């Protein structure tokens, strides 16, 4: 799977479960093991586990490979290895303590998040706000 498609699937999966502070780093210049490191925060053990499981499920559904999912026992730090992209999902205290951004940072990948896309589309249509409504069948 193309790295851009893979990172989009991962970020969308994180947004679906309301991950916070999602950042994507290009690591091609640092290692030959993977091309992207994606870091996100979850507010509880339950949410970090749900985020990890959702990323793994969505990547598999899109035809990508998930080599392993680690850390679901404690849920403080969940790692999803998707081959070309490694996803770290941490609770805020763990994220601050380990400061992975300092290790992998430097070359952020700019991506539009789903909310940004919706707002941009609404602006093109001349709308001031976007409201998502689930329709009953």
Q: Would you say residue 127 has pLDDT above 80? A: no
Spatial distance between the Cα atoms of 27 and 35, rounded to a whole number of angstroms = 5
Question: 20-24, 28-32, 36-40, 92-96: lowest mean pLDDT where?
Answer: 28-32
Query: How would residue 130 be classed by pLDDT, with cut points 50, 70 and 90?
Result: very low
Q: Would you say residue 38 has pLDDT above 80? A: yes
Q: What was the pLDDT predicted at 102? A: 86
The class that CATH gives domain 3-112 is alpha beta
Q: Would you say residue 61 has pLDDT above 70? A: yes
Domain ranges across the chain? 3-112
For residue 81, give the 3-state DSSP assignment. Answer: strand
Q: What was the pLDDT predicted at 52? A: 97
Q: Which residues pair with 80 in a beta bridge?
A: 69, 87
């Amino acid at each position: 799977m193309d790295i851009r498609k893979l990172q989009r699937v991962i970020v969308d999966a994180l947004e679906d479960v309301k991950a916070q502070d999602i950042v994507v780093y290009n690591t091609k210049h640092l290692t030959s093991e993977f091309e992207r490191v994606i870091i996100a925060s979850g507010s509880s053990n339950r949410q970090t586990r749900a985020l990890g499981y959702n990323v793994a499920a969505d990547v598999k559904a899109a035809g990508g490979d998930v080599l392993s999912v680690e850390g679901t026992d404690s849920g403080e730090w969940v790692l999803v290895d998707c081959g070309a992209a490694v996803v770290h999902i941490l609770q805020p205290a763990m994220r601050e303590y380990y400061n992975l951004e300092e290790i992998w940072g430097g070359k952020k990948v700019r991506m539009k998040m789903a909310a940004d896309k919706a707002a941009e589309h609404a602006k093109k249509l001349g709308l001031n706000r976007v409201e998502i409504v689930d329709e009953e069948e």
